[in-house]
Amino acid sequence: MEKILIVEDDVKIANYLSSYIKKYHYEVVIATDFDQIMCTFRQSNPALVLLDINLPSYDGYYWCRQIRKESICPVIFISARTGEMDQVMALDNGADDFITKPFHPDVVMAKIRSQFRRAYGEYATKFEERVLIQEGLKLYPERLELQFKSQTTSLTKNETFIIESLFERYPRVAGRQDLLEKLWDDQVYVDENTLNVNITRVRSKFQSIGIEEAVETVRGAGYRLRITWSGDNA
């Protein structure tokens, strides 16, 4: 029986979600200590997390980043915030989906089933962990990590998608439109600046592990990976 962790400080909403989800034969854990979310996460070891943004002490973005340091289990934000940037920030911080309040419980269940199919079911990767390598530079998409020699940096989900696209397309160009479509299913929440910001972050992540000028801008087309480093002894 799959276990779902609900991190929601509105007791009525948490109990309502719990009661509804249990009807579909899932096990549910409701977080109660909002200063120790990671303790609850480790103890319950959930297969999926429903996470509010507005929480006591630390917000949901913070807790999602902490979860991503330890797990790739699906995280779905459920929030009263309806701004486009709130949804972009949720995805940037490692979330897999976003549901706005007020919500219909059937929509929540559909999102949960979808994430379970992707993570564990018919669409899930059935093989060993993937690693993409270019001249000793290693990308671990499932870990959200980039590694070069002795240096490792953590990535957001969007940064991982961009770097994976650059790896897969090398030495060809990864088109801007292709990147946007891969990063966000619903492009109503995307503008040109959003991708620019993420590319800047990707460049910073390369720099943090000692690699300069790894992402080349191809005017009017997109971006291309540049091998500016040596893989010797990587």
β-pairing, 3-7 with 48-51?
parallel
Residues 149 and 56 in one domain: no
| Number of residues that this document lists for the chain | 234
CB 61 within 8 A of CB 88: no
Domain membership of residue 21 (yes or no) is yes
β-pairing, 75-79 with 97-100?
parallel
pLDDT value of position 141: 86
User: How many domains are contained in the chain?
Assistant: 2
CA 82 vs. chain centroid, Å, equals 19
Domain membership of residue 110 (yes or no) is yes
Q: Report phi then psi at 141, rounded to 5.
A: -60, -40
The closest alpha carbon to 71, from 143, 154, 14, belongs to 143
Domain membership of residue 29 (yes or no) is yes
Q: Domain containing 109 — which CATH number? A: 3.40.50.2300
Residue 107 is part of which domain span? 3-119
* pTM given for the model: 0.58
Residues 80 and 7 in one domain: yes
Helix ranges, 6-104 (H) = 11-22, 37-44, 60-68, 84-92
Residues 197 and 143 in one domain: yes
Strands ordered across the beta sheet of 151-154: 132-134, 137-140, 145-148, 151-154
Residues 159 and 51 in one domain: no
Residues 170 and 81 in one domain: no
Residues 111 and 29 in one domain: yes
| Residue 170, both tokens | 């090398």
Residues 99 and 163 in one domain: no
Residues 27 and 111 in one domain: yes
The closest alpha carbon to 87, from 101, 99, 104, belongs to 99
Domain membership of residue 231 (yes or no) is no
The position carrying tokens 């010797």 is 232
Cis preceding linkage at 56, omega within 30: no
Residues 115 and 149 in one domain: no
pLDDT in tens, the chain (234 residues): 789 999 999 999 999 999 999 999 999 999 999 999 999 999 999 999 999 999 998 999 999 999 988 888 999 999 888 778 888 888 888 899 999 988 999 999 999 999 988 887 755 544 456 889 999 999 998 788 999 988 999 888 888 889 999 999 999 999 988 888 776 654 445 566 788 888 999 999 999 999 999 999 999 899 999 999 986 655
Q: Domain containing 142 — which CATH number? A: 1.10.10.10
